[in-house]
Structure 1
Amino acid sequence: MFKRSTKNLDRTALTLIVILSLAIGFLLTQSGQAIARVRDFTWQARQVGAADSAFILSFSRPMDKASVEENLQIDPPLPGKFSWAGRRMAYTLESPIPYGQTFELSLKGGRDRFSPPDDARLQMRPFTSEFQSRDRVFVYLGVEGDEAGRLVLLNLTRQEQKILTPPNLLVMDFKPYPENDRILFSAIEQSSGTRRSLGDQQLYTVSTGIRIQPPDSLIGAVSQRAERNATATPQSAGVVELVLDNRDYQNLKFDLSPNGKTIVVQRVNQQNPADFGLWILQPGEPARPIETEPGGDFLIAPDSQSLAMSQGQGMAILPLESGADPLDFLPRYGMILSFARDGTAAAMVRFNRNPENPTRSLFLITNQGTEQELLEIDGSFLDAQFDPNKRNLYCLLTRRIPGDVYLEQPYLTAINLDSGEVVDLLKLPIQQDIQMNLSPDGLAVLFDQAISDADVNADGVIRGRDGKAIASSKLWILPIVEDDQGIPLQAQPQEVGVAGLRPRWLP
């Protein structure tokens, strides 16, 4: 009886071994014929911004590179370059993605590395996906009616307009956060019967109501998804939160780091004006002073870890740490206008001290230590911004008008950084208060055209650099058009159709 049971068990085991062997053999013979497919596309159903320079396609099998590169299509086209790492293909854009568009990516006809090229049955599974660029959105300071003194958001893609801040806050300056969900701004709280001044500014944030699903960066995708899921519920537009009060210190100029995690504020003690300097605010921590030599104008660098500030007879590059030594000091420059997005270059101004003919020179400063003079003028440099590819520098400047009365004529000017060619794109009306802002995709410049009223002396009105009340202001968009060599060409500006000041594109 025992022997019979053992034989039955042996027979059963042998049968199972044969069945499993046949199954394994079948799988092995079929695995070589498995059809390749796309496992992951990092931009699928995402909103892509100018900072997103590349996407990745991950495949289930090692691919024939040429068959993939020849058959990948993007509509509308986005020129770029391919690179490979195993089963992952990266596509890097040559220029930032144009905002306000929907794109379709398709891949049909690709094959894996081991399939015969003439066997259509073994071509990869066709793949199609959509992604979008961020909407074309900007924020401006209203000057008329219910919008006066308030932040207003205008979405050009969706043709939507929203007033963000309440009527009791007179907004002075503002900076958008990189995810477009909030705006950092300084404002004076207005109350009846109480006179207010610039020293009464406090810092606030206001929500925009915008919810972006950005692509994961090529590094740290898992942690990014976790962080995004933790803050998945967006705030509705117009939620205001106080960031920094003015109880003990007056708040003056401020800047927001490019990563949106650090705020630097210039402050002065209400009781002791000698107590003057920079303070830093970071998430979850109280504001604290930065111990450094006193200085003037400043700008946070693209690395979000350092800043440039005018000190004494030059420009200091300082780490955002109390008591730390300067990283660099540039003795010839008195003003910084902007950094290139990647931090490899900056636009700085040198004041040429010639009593008979004082002029100012604009310089290109690189992180390699080179200093190149771009332009010398007898007026002022008001602003300068690098385009995303660092080919051109767009400048808002003034030139002195010959004559007995001192007047300066504003221009919107482009300087090609390769050739040094200077192109006056637009001659602007003579005015003291004017600002420009280059779109994140580099395809348009916003600027304002203010109308002052010297007879208005009331509190609670917006004033320009000359102290005069601003009665109204038009907003304009100048499209950027380049020739085959990348030199900007003159184009016709387009009126936006709203009354506002200091427009700024959302990143």
Structure 2
Amino acid sequence: MMLKNLQPIDKMSLGLMAVFTVVIGGLIGGETLCGTDCFLSRGPRVKNFSWQGKIVGAQDEAFIVTFDRPMDTKSVEANLVIDPPLPGKFSWAGRRLAYTLETPVPYGETYQVQLSDAKERFRKQGQPGEVMQPFVGEFQSRDRALAYIGTQGEEQGRLVFYNLTQQQKRMITPPELVVMDFQFYPEGNKILFSAFDKGRGIDGLRELQLYTVPTGVKEGIQKTEANETGTPELILDNQDYQNNQFELSADGKIIVVQRVNRKNPADFDLWMLKEGNKPERLKVTGGQFAIAPDSQTLAVARGEGIGILPLQPEAEPLDFLPKFGQLLSFAPNGSAAAMVDFNTDDANLRYTRSLFYVNNQGIQKELLNTEGSIIDCQFNLRGTHLYCLLTQLLPGEEYKEQPYFAKFDIKTGKMIPLATLTDYQDIKISLAPDGLALLFDQIITSDNPLFSDKLTSNSGEAIVGGKLWLLIPPIANGSNPQAELKELPLVGFRPQWLP
């Protein structure tokens, strides 16, 4: 009779009390039967894997595995399996294991991290630790992808994005713009490019404007649902100034542009463009320039030398390197650079050039002296090797150069020839972020006036085609002891890898 008079909330409370009584009783009974050790019989487990389900790139150097209790480190290290293999080094901090890769993670792969049969640290003297619960983690590396400027058909003059991993190709700029140069933003989600209106021919080089366009990439993976053509955003117009060479900082926040006053050609300067701000004159004159990887320093060719100065207006130089006439590239961490000495001060070396490794510790190491040309060089991500496009002066009365690729070991200074090409013209090289492939082009030109309103080379000839190639360097103790050359099924020029 009393239960009938209970309010609904009272009935619910009594029900919950009954449930909790059964649960607590079961727990107490279980502990009486098997003791407190039964709660530990599951063995140790992985609490967190820092790369689980993530997409990682060349800049990601280490993953962390966190356990729920102290582990026997040797048994963990002996049983950790990564498939495909990624050589690396172990380090410990309590229950946390850090695995640091020896080389950047290869792109275009899915990886599994497996761990089983590892034991916890001994709880008592002479008593073995529990064997852990098996763990399987998974992560991906970025897609292997590139962009280039098309040369034929509907691709002519347009930026084309090609995903090698997924075998997908898309044009990402509209047909009314002719692209001349471009750079990826650090995340690969958009591209900065210079372009002019179609139909302007060689006059278009004096009418370049800067734009950005989305690539359809998120975290290094191309979104298949992305539209074929992006919508460019105008970043810098050409109303009062002619825009020439430009450079994007490593953090993607600053653009430096060489500009010439349209009314006064003697008025040329470098300008800085920051996100959300108006263009700002740096009051820095000079030739070739590059932004250092710290995104705060500028290197500028000035007369017979390279000036190093802060990236701010009217800055005083931090350093000047009078020996060098050309800066080729910086090491990714900014600690070193590849430079060219034209040997003008030495009568015995008047007709030669020297390739130098120069670091911030004052070391200037000559890697090569040649009668040919030093076209371009790029460091691998760790800065341990330098990949170069060079030429060799062929014997004979006619001046003729033969291009070839070579790799330099910075520590030993040893040069390793990779491949020889039959001819050279405006070759653009790009080293993959994982260091496993070098991308380059070979343009096809014509002096036929019918093509004069099309794309033009550095020498002013009309570009009517272009081949894109992969150079795959040999891997130490690997299956390919010699470099491989592979032609891609693409027609274009100025290729660049997705970061």
TM-score, reference length from structure 2: 0.86
Q: Name the CA distance, whole Å, in 1 between partners of 2:197 and 2:128.
A: 70
1:333 alignment counterpart: 324
Q: Secondary structure at the match of 1:122?
A: coil
Between 412-421 and 333-342, report the one with greater CA deviation.
Answer: 412-421
Against the structure 1 CA distance between its residues 58 and 284, is the aligned structure 2 distance closer, same or farther, given a 3 Å change threshold?
farther
Against the structure 1 CA distance between its residues 33 and 204, is the aligned structure 2 distance closer, same or farther, given a 3 Å change threshold?
same
Provide structure 2 residue ranges, at least 5 long, that are not aligned to the other structure: 1-20
Q: Secondary structure at the match of 2:78?
A: helix
1:94 aligns with 2:102: yes
2:240 alignment counterpart: 248
Against the structure 1 CA distance between its residues 119 and 74, is the aligned structure 2 distance closer, same or farther, given a 3 Å change threshold?
farther
Match of 2:406 among 381, 393, 413: 413
Residue type of the alignment partner of 1:491: A
1:493 aligns with 2:485: yes
2:214 alignment counterpart: 207
Runs ≥4 residues deviating over 6 A: 31-34, 116-121
Q: Name the CA distance, whole Å, in 1 between partners of 2:492 and 2:124.
A: 63
Match of 1:279 among 271, 274, 281: 271
Q: Secondary structure at the match of 1:55?
A: strand
1:472 Cα deviation (Å)? 1.2
Q: Name the CA distance, whole Å, in 2 between partners of 1:116 and 1:208.
A: 58
2:354 alignment counterpart: 361
Between 468-477 and 58-67, report the one with greater CA deviation.
Answer: 58-67
Residue type of the alignment partner of 2:135: F
Q: Name the CA distance, whole Å, in 1 between partners of 2:330 and 2:202.
A: 38
Q: Deviations over 1:116-164 (max 9, x none)?
A: 6998893233221111111110111111111111111111111111111
Against the structure 1 CA distance between its residues 454 and 74, is the aligned structure 2 distance closer, same or farther, given a 3 Å change threshold?
same
1:480 alignment counterpart: 473
Is contact 2:142-2:220 (8 Å) kept?
Answer: no
Residue type of the alignment partner of 2:70: P
Against the structure 1 CA distance between its residues 213 and 62, is the aligned structure 2 distance closer, same or farther, given a 3 Å change threshold?
farther
Q: Name the CA distance, whole Å, in 2 between partners of 1:481 and 1:118.
A: 50
1:124 aligns with 2:117: no
Match of 2:175 among 121, 143, 167: 167
Residue type of the alignment partner of 2:414: E
Q: Percent identity?
A: 49
Is contact 1:380-1:398 (8 Å) kept?
Answer: yes
Against the structure 1 CA distance between its residues 445 and 350, is the aligned structure 2 distance closer, same or farther, given a 3 Å change threshold?
same
Q: Secondary structure at the match of 2:77?
A: helix
Q: Secondary structure at the match of 1:198?
A: helix
Q: Deviations over 1:60-106 (max 9, x none)?
A: 22333222222211111101011122322211000011111110011
Is contact 1:37-1:60 (8 Å) kept?
Answer: yes
1:54 alignment counterpart: 62
Residue type of the alignment partner of 1:343: G
2:150 alignment counterpart: 142
Residue type of the alignment partner of 1:255: E
1:184 aligns with 2:192: yes
In the TM superposition, 1:184-333 aligns within 5 A as: 184-190=192-198, 196-212=203-219, 236=227, 238-292=230-284, 294-333=285-324
Residue type of the alignment partner of 1:427: T
Q: Deviations over 1:465-499 (max 9, x none)?
A: 22111221111111110445x9x964231111211
2:383 alignment counterpart: 390
Is contact 1:208-1:236 (8 Å) kept?
Answer: no
1:197 Cα deviation (Å)? 2.8
1:38 Cα deviation (Å)? 2.0
Match of 1:400 among 389, 393, 398: 393
Q: Deviations over 1:273-299 (max 9, x none)?
A: 23322212222222212233x111111
Between 426-435 and 444-453, report the one with greater CA deviation.
Answer: 426-435
Is contact 2:45-2:68 (8 Å) kept?
Answer: yes
Q: Name the CA distance, whole Å, in 1 between partners of 2:220 and 2:457.
A: 37
1:171 Cα deviation (Å)? 0.6
1:156 aligns with 2:149: no
Is contact 2:336-2:358 (8 Å) kept?
Answer: yes
Q: Secondary structure at the match of 2:154?
A: helix
1:465 aligns with 2:473: no
Residue type of the alignment partner of 1:210: V
1:457 Cα deviation (Å)? 5.7
Is contact 1:111-1:117 (8 Å) kept?
Answer: no
Is contact 1:207-1:236 (8 Å) kept?
Answer: no
2:18 alignment counterpart: none
Against the structure 1 CA distance between its residues 287 and 236, is the aligned structure 2 distance closer, same or farther, given a 3 Å change threshold?
farther
RMSD: 2.9
Q: Name the CA distance, whole Å, in 1 between partners of 2:336 and 2:99.
A: 25
Is contact 1:207-1:235 (8 Å) kept?
Answer: no
TM-score, reference length from structure 1: 0.85
1:242 Cα deviation (Å)? 1.1
1:41 Cα deviation (Å)? 1.6
Match of 2:448 among 431, 437, 455: 455
1:343 aligns with 2:351: no
2:436 alignment counterpart: 443
2:3 alignment counterpart: none
Q: Name the CA distance, whole Å, in 2 between partners of 1:505 and 1:267.
A: 27
2:10 alignment counterpart: none
Q: Name the CA distance, whole Å, in 2 between partners of 1:235 and 1:497.
A: 22
Is contact 2:122-2:128 (8 Å) kept?
Answer: no
Q: Secondary structure at the match of 2:203?
A: coil
1:185 Cα deviation (Å)? 0.7
Q: Secondary structure at the match of 1:68?
A: helix
